[in-house]
Amino acid sequence: MPGRRTIGVDMGGSKLLAGAVDSGLSVHHRAQRSFTRHDVSYLFDTVVDAVEETRAGAGGEVAAVGFGIPSLIDQRTGTAVVAVNLPLKNVMFADVMAERLDLPVFVDNDANLAALAEHRAGAARGCSEAVVLTIGTGIGGGLILRSELYRGAIGSAGELGHVVIDLNGPPCGPNCPNHGCIEAMASGTALAREALRIAHERPRSGLGRALAEGRELAGPLVTELAHDGDEAAIETIATIGRYLGVAITSLVNTFNPEVVVIGGGVMGAGELLLGPVRTEVASRALPPSRDLVEIVPAAFGVEAGMIGAAALAFDGLRQRAEAG
């Protein structure tokens, strides 16, 4: 008989990934959805539909659901306080989902859960100090300190994407009052903005021709062109990598991690992104932290948040059982 499973749901700014996961963190069924509207009712309906599809295909008992959402979380109440890229503000997310799904629900920040997955079984396994960054529409961060996921006083720590690296940089987002955050400078959104700028400057480049053809200069296309050798696309990714390297330098100096793990969709660029990141950190960070840290891609790739959300659900069930 198939064993007990949980469902992990990773909600990004534009899409979600759900998966049925066993206690060994192996995935048995997946469901994906894109968010074509940004209102709360539509968001909830889309999430429930994806979970129910995953539940039907799980091949075993589903005991709970874990959610990773790109939001500040108040762990005392399971409230999504504010999300930069989703219509969630002071929403009792855990309670709403538990009622709609009739299952125990556990909620945390999406990047925290990516860090949890990478520490349990991925690129940060065996490390006591790690920084995890997830780079997609926005940028999330998770901290492993003394071998534990660090959440802060009420669960809102680790918002590394909102560390400012340029006082006069571009505005961050509708729910962030800052300018020049890491998210504004080095996210997938920033990559697309930089690609558009360079495409206008170099109309004969691969980026310029793609723009003229009406193609969307988003991360996947920029990455494809860069891997094909387009210098404009390579420069675009390198620029984002340099900004990211500046940000990671501050994190290395602050936390002295053994490893910085980078995940999310932008990591499709691979060494085209990581090379400039490592160069900036090597030239800017302080010794001895600079000499210790490794900067590596996430082992679970874009599934890290989903797997971490499922692990959160297993942890929550165990803690409830231990509490009686």
Beta bridge partners of 69: 109
How would you label 58-77 residue by residue, b for 16+ Cβ within 10 Å and e otherwise? beeebbbbbbbbbbbbbbeb
Closest of 71, 68, 187 to residue 134, by C-alpha: 187
Identify the pLDDT of residue 84.
Answer: 66
Length of the chain (residues)? 324
Query: Edge to edge, what strands does the sheet with 259-263 contain?
Result: 148-149, 139-145, 130-135, 259-263, 294-297
φ, ψ for residue 314 (rounded to 5)?
-60, -45
Beta bridge partners of 91: 80
Identify the pLDDT of residue 1.
Answer: 37
Q: 251 by DSSP, 3-state: which?
A: helix
Amino acid, single-letter form, for residue 41: S
Is the pTM for the entire model greater than 0.85? yes
pLDDT digit of tens for each residue in the chain (324 aa)? 356 999 999 998 778 999 999 999 999 999 999 988 878 899 999 999 999 999 999 887 999 999 999 888 888 888 888 776 787 888 899 999 999 999 999 999 999 999 999 999 999 999 999 999 999 888 989 999 999 999 999 888 899 999 999 999 999 977 789 999 999 999 999 999 999 999 999 999 999 999 999 999 999 999 999 999 999 999 999 999 999 999 999 999 999 999 999 998 889 999 999 999 999 999 999 999 999 999 999 999 889 999 999 999 999 999 999 987
Could you tell me if 291 and 253 are in contact, meaning their C-beta atoms sit under 8 angstroms apart? no
Q: 71 by DSSP, 3-state: which?
A: strand
The whole-angstrom separation of Cα 135 and Cα 142 is 12
